[in-house]
Amino acid sequence: MTSSEIKTHLLIIYTGGTIGMMKDPVSGALVPFDFEHIYDQMPILKNFDFKIDFHSFNPLIDSSNMKPSFWIQLAEIIEAKYELYDGFVVLHGSDTMAYTASALSFMLENLNKPVVFTGSQLPMDVIRTDGRENFLTAIEIAASKEDETSVVPEVCIFFENQLMRGNRTTKFNAERFNAFVSGNYPLLAEVGIHIRYQKNNILKPNFKKLKVHTKLDFNVTILKLFPGISESVVKSTLAIPGLKALILETFGSGNAPTDSWFINCLEEAIKNGLIIYNVTQCKSGSVDIGKYETSLDLGRIGVIGGYDITTESALAKLMYLIGEGYPKERVLELLQTSIRGEMTIE
Ligand code: ASP
Q: Hey, whose CA ends up nearest to atom 6 of ligand 1?
A: 93
Residue 194: count of CB within 10 angstroms of its CB: 8
How many domains, in total, are found in the chain?
2
Q: Hey, whose CA ends up nearest to atom 8 of ligand 1?
A: 94
Q: Are both 187 and 316 inside the same structural domain?
A: no
Confidence of residue 1 (pLDDT cuts 50, 70, 90): low
| Within-domain flag for 318 | yes
Which CATH number characterizes residue 313's domain?
A: 3.40.50.40
- What range does the domain containing 241 cover? 220-335
100 classed as catalytic: no
Query: How far does the centroid of ligand 1 lie from the alpha carbon of residue 17, in Å?
Result: 4
Catalytic residue among 2, 8, 18, 311: 18
Q: Are both 132 and 243 inside the same structural domain?
A: no
Type of residue at 198: Q
63 C-beta closer than 6 A to ligand 1:
yes
Most confident of 13-17, 115-119, 174-178: 115-119
Q: Are both 148 and 240 inside the same structural domain?
A: no
Query: How far does the centroid of ligand 1 lie from the alpha carbon of residue 65, in Å?
Result: 10
Type of residue at 42: M
Entry pTM: 0.95
Q: For 298-332, write each residue's pLDDT tens digit.
A: 999 999 999 999 999 999 999 999 999 999 999 99
131 C-beta closer than 6 A to ligand 1:
no
Asked whether the beta carbons of 130 and 120 are under 8 A apart, the reply is yes
- Find the helix or strand (DSSP H, E) in which 11 lies: strand 8-14
Closest atom of ligand 1 to 121 CA is 8
> What integer best gives the mean pLDDT of the chain?
94
Asked whether the beta carbons of 268 and 301 are under 8 A apart, the reply is no
